[in-house]
């Protein structure tokens, strides 16, 4: 896994001083590559002991191995960026349009690739089967995570699986209060710290529903509130107007689930898919009109 994605995922489990150091590194990974442990501690206004504790908390045996991992990640990033003909991944205010497009494309491609490489296959299979067998699926995502929630709802509707997608947390909690063993609750949250999402999963679980979290933070409150975790692996650029990498990672997970459902029960699900396709066909312009 990209060490910087891994670091972002572990933010919630770090002590305050270590979290501050992690955020400084995520904002500018080059400070690790260019610094000794003493120089990094000085730049980040912390102690060398804190840096050592941070490296171990991040899953490394010391600063040397962490520094090598960051350098390796930056090298792979530079190679990928060279293909897109840009020098770095961070979006700058003075980027021209081709550079801007290339950098956004890189962020999206990296999120999909990292998520695909590290998907939990057993958990994905479990969730796909649970969705296929569910009496009803309740889906919630706050803010930009609601886009992935809506996408899953749309796809389940086409497969004739009863589902609801909530944008109002009060309605989501109402549905969660009606959960039972035959229902599944799916929540999307990139940060894993959305209070309403935690409440939704907790309530659904308390009433017997199968609960699923799609989040970029495996140790977060949202992840802990769910019975099944489907982690994404996305690192957002520092300069952004909204979700970029996180949205693409979440949408990829939705596609993995739906395709797995079709693969597991194609005979049953192919018919509603075809019927829904035919249902909207009348809204498409015919060839004669387009000519």
Mean pLDDT is lowest, of 99-113, 209-223, 274-288, for 274-288
Q: What is the pLDDT of residue 219?
A: 87
pLDDT higher than threshold 90 for residue 185? yes
Handedness of CA 202, 165, 220, 209 (dihedral sign): positive
Identify which has the larger pLDDT, 37 or 241.
Answer: 37
pLDDT higher than threshold 70 for residue 252? yes
Cα 240 from Cα 84, distance rounded (Å) = 19
Residues 66 and 58 sit within 8 Å (Cβ to Cβ) = yes
Question: What is the average pLDDT across 231-237?
Answer: 82
pLDDT higher than threshold 90 for residue 154? yes
Question: What is the average pLDDT across 230-239?
Answer: 78
Cα 1 from Cα 210, distance rounded (Å) = 29
pLDDT higher than threshold 70 for residue 289? no
**What percent of the chain has a predicted confidence (pLDDT) above 70?**
93
Mean pLDDT of the chain: 89
Q: What is the pLDDT of residue 14?
A: 87
Looking only at the bridges linking them, the beta strands covering 183-189 and 210-215 are parallel
Confidence of residue 5 (pLDDT cuts 50, 70, 90): confident
Residues 246 and 232 sit within 8 Å (Cβ to Cβ) = yes
pLDDT higher than threshold 80 for residue 162? yes
């Amino acid at each position: 896994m990209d060490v910087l994605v891994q670091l972002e995922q572990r933010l919630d489990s770090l002590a305050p001083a270590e979290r501050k150091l992690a955020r400084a590194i995520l904002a500018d990974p080059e400070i690790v590559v260019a610094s000794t442990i003493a120089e990094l501690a000085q730049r980040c206004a912390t102690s060398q002991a804190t840096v050592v504790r941070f490296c171990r908390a991040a899953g490394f045996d010391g600063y040397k191995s962490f520094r090598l991992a960051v350098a390796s990640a930056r090298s792979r990033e530079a190679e990928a960026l060279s293909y897109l003909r840009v020098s770095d991944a961070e979006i700058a205010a003075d980027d021209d349009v081709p550079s801007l497009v290339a950098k956004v494309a890189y962020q999206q491609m990296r999120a999909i690739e990292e998520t695909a490489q590290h998907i939990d296959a057993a958990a994905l299979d479990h969730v796909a089967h649970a969705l296929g067998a569910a009496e009803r699926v309740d889906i919630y995502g706050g803010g930009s995570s609601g886009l992935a929630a809506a996408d899953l709802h749309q796809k389940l509707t086409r497969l004739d699986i009863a589902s609801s997608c909530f944008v109002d947390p009060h309605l989501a909690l109402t549905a969660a209060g009606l959960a039972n063993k035959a229902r599944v609750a799916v929540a999307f949250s990139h940060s894993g710290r959305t209070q309403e999402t935690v409440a939704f999963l907790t309530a659904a679980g308390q009433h017997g529903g199968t609960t699923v979290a799609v989040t970029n933070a495996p140790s977060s409150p949202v992840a802990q509130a769910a019975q099944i975790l489907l982690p994404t692996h996305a690192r957002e650029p520092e300069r952004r107007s909204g979700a970029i990498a996180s949205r693409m990672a979440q949408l990829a997970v939705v596609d993995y689930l739906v395709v797995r459902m079709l693969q597991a029960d194609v005979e049953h699900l192919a018919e509603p898919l075809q019927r829904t396709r035919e249902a909207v066909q009348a809204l498409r312009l015919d060839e004669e009109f387009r000519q």
